[in-house]
Amino acid sequence: MVRNGQSGFRENLIRRYGHVCAVTGSCPVEVLQAAHLRGFAEHETHNLTEGVLLRADVHLLFDRHLLTVDPTTWRVVLAPSLSGYDAYEPLEGVRFADGPSEQAVRDHFVAVTAKWV
């Protein structure tokens, strides 16, 4: 299901950040997805300061609460359950892109890591 306004949100994020995943860096535009730091279902807004571009697989990890960003270091943190996955372990500690709302990053981090305990 495509959300109303999602394609415009993605295009605006591409204009803002270029063809760059907030975690993995430069990549083909075809694999970039618009991600909401705050769940769209809760807020139903496409706020650019609360959105980033993520590579499709990274977006799935993000949405499934397996990847978040530490708001004090601005570094990626992986869920303990991803330990041992060679494709994803290198993402731990990667610097997240500048630009998104610090409060939205903080809110995501708190909500996600609370589920890991």
- pLDDT attached to residue 54: 97
1 occurs within a structural domain: no
pTM: 0.87
Digit-coded pLDDT (tens) for 38-68? 764 455 555 688 899 999 999 999 999 999 9
Question: Which domain range does residue 106 map to?
Answer: 6-114
Distance CA 51, CA 90 (A): 23
Distance CA 34, CA 14 (A): 9
87 occurs within a structural domain: yes
Residue 16, C-beta contacts closer than 8 angstroms, at least 6 positions apart:
48, 99
Host H or E run for residue 14: helix 6-17
Number of domains in the chain: 1
Distance CA 112, CA 19 (A): 26
97 occurs within a structural domain: yes
Residue 83 dihedral angles phi and psi, to the nearest 5°: -60, 135
